[in-house]
Structure 1
Amino acid sequence: MESGQGYWVVIATLLSAAVLAVLPVPHALVWWRPEWVALVLVYWCIALPHRVGVVVALLTGIGMDILEGAVLGQNTFALSVIALLSVGLYQRVRLFSLWQQAGIVFVLIGIHQLICQWVQNLEGVGTQQPLFLLPALSSALFWPLVLSLLRGLRRHYRVA
């Protein structure tokens, strides 16, 4: 990406993920909602580690904290940690099979969920049930679709 060319694709996908993150879902599916923003961020950190990393995660996290009304820093910290891990692991993750990648995504999103749950427990609003890890499972199951869609966008718009 010379001088920011193609960055609009990254921004547009992160904004789309933020919209998906706050769309209303039926009460029965609330715990199963994938962590769309984290999924998209993980993809871009693995695909373009030299362009998308902790700084993008910090800015995205601040936006998500404001959008969700969370404690300022909750998503910022969680997304920054998984961006740091993703950028550190990108060479290995690229070599894994699709389902091995989904396993890594499960762990990364699980770490994201644990950090958010920890902050919520400090606030006194966290859940005492392990249901907060269900988004990690649904995110891992959606990984093949997200990977295929974002890879197609990246190739179509020649984002490098």
Structure 2
Amino acid sequence: MSLEPHHGGWVIVLSFLVSFMLAIMPLPAWATVWRPDWIALVLTYWCIAVPQRVGVASGWFVGLIHDVLSDTLLGQHALTLCIIAFISVKLHRRIRLFPRWQQVMGVFGLITASQLLNAGISSIVGNPLLEWSFIYPAITSCGLWPWVFIILRDMRRTYQVY
């Protein structure tokens, strides 16, 4: 824990607010299964970029808000986002060194595991499990990862978030 004051916390909060808005934005019926996991993408970035500020507790809190916004079982997204945050924080030094295409593959693995866990929890609760549609958000998320990474990195550097 650093004793230096932190700067730019509002940038982190603003990026999560935008991800919440994108997560609940209405889409056509055919596009809802392809909706990227915006919240997991933003959480993964901040856990990699500033792990001393955004971690498992942030994942839990953001997940609870996501559960309330998406009207799912309370704690469902909180659990999956905690797992994503834990893995991201634990491996943040390695992930930073990976070329972008390897980061994309890592994000694909994280979000696929998250979507699979969410589908499993939903099926336990009684919602029908859709065949392979749980993987569609991981595909779109890994396609958007380079853009999310570049945008958030530029914001972090511009507003000196550390």
Give TM-score scaled by structure 2 length.
0.95
Which ranges in structure 2 are unaligned for 5 or more consecutive residues?
none
Pairwise CA distance, 1:4: 4.4
Separation (CA, whole Å) in 2 of partners of 1:12 and 1:128: 33
SS in 2 for 1:5: coil
Separation (CA, whole Å) in 1 of partners of 2:15 and 2:111: 18
Amino acid paired to 1:141: G
Q: 2:67 aligns with which of 49, 65, 68?
A: 65
**Is 1:48 matched with 2:57?**
no
Amino acid paired to 1:104: G
Q: How many residue pairs align between the two structures?
A: 160
Which ranges in structure 1 are unaligned for 5 or more consecutive residues?
none
Q: 2:13 aligns with which of 11, 14, 19?
A: 11
Amino acid paired to 2:159: Y
Separation (CA, whole Å) in 2 of partners of 1:78 and 1:144: 22
Where do residues 11-50 of structure 1 align in structure 2 (5 Å cutoff)?
11-50=13-52
**Is 1:159 matched with 2:152?**
no
Separation (CA, whole Å) in 1 of partners of 2:128 and 2:48: 30
Q: Root-mean-square deviation (CA), in Å?
A: 1.2
Give TM-score scaled by structure 1 length.
0.96
